[in-house]
Amino acid sequence: MKETTLLKLSVIVSIIGIFSLLIIAETTSLEITKISEINKKDLETKVKIQGKILSIRETPGLYLLTVTDFTSTTAVIIFKEDPLDLKKNLEVEIEGKIAEYEGKREIIADTIKYIN
C-alpha cells in the first residue's frame, strides 16, 4: 500500500475510535451505591448515591451537605458555580468522586439532581 493510503486509513480508524469512546462514555451510567458500602479502597473513584439531605452549611465557595441513604451518612462537598435551591430533607441523587479529608470520607459532587 502507498503511504498516503495508510495515512488516510489510520486517520479514519482513529476518528471512528474517538467517536466510539465518546459514545460509550456518554451512554455508560453509574450504578447507585449505598453509602455504607463506600470505603477507603474506593478513594478517587466516581460513585452515584441517592439520599436525603440532613444538614446544609453554606460558605463563600462551597455547599457542605450531610446526606443519608438510611444505611449510613456522608459529607458531600459542592463547589459553588451557580446558586442551588437546597433544603433540608430534600431527596437528591449525587454523582461525584470519593475523597478523604482529615481522616473522614466525603464525596466531591460533580452533579446533583433533585428526586421527586
Q: Is the pLDDT of residue 20 over 80?
A: yes
3-state secondary structure at position 35: helix
Asked if 17 and 48 sit in the same domain, the reply is: no
Q: Which domain holds residue 65?
A: 35-114
Together in a domain, 49 and 78: yes
For 21, residues 6+ apart whose C-beta sits below 8 A from its C-beta are none
Looking at residue 80, its pLDDT comes to 87
pLDDT band of residue 41 (cuts 50, 70, 90) is confident
Per the structure, the count of domains in the chain is 2
Same domain, 56 and 99: yes
- Same domain? 62 vs 8: no
Task: Judge if 81 and 26 occupy the same domain.
Answer: no
CA distance 8 to 35: 49
Tens-place pLDDT, residues 55-110? 999 998 899 999 999 899 999 999 988 778 889 999 999 999 999 989 889 999 99
Residue 28 has pLDDT above 80, yes or no: no
Tell me, yes or no, whether 49 and 82 share the same domain.
Answer: yes
Full-prediction pTM beyond 0.75? no
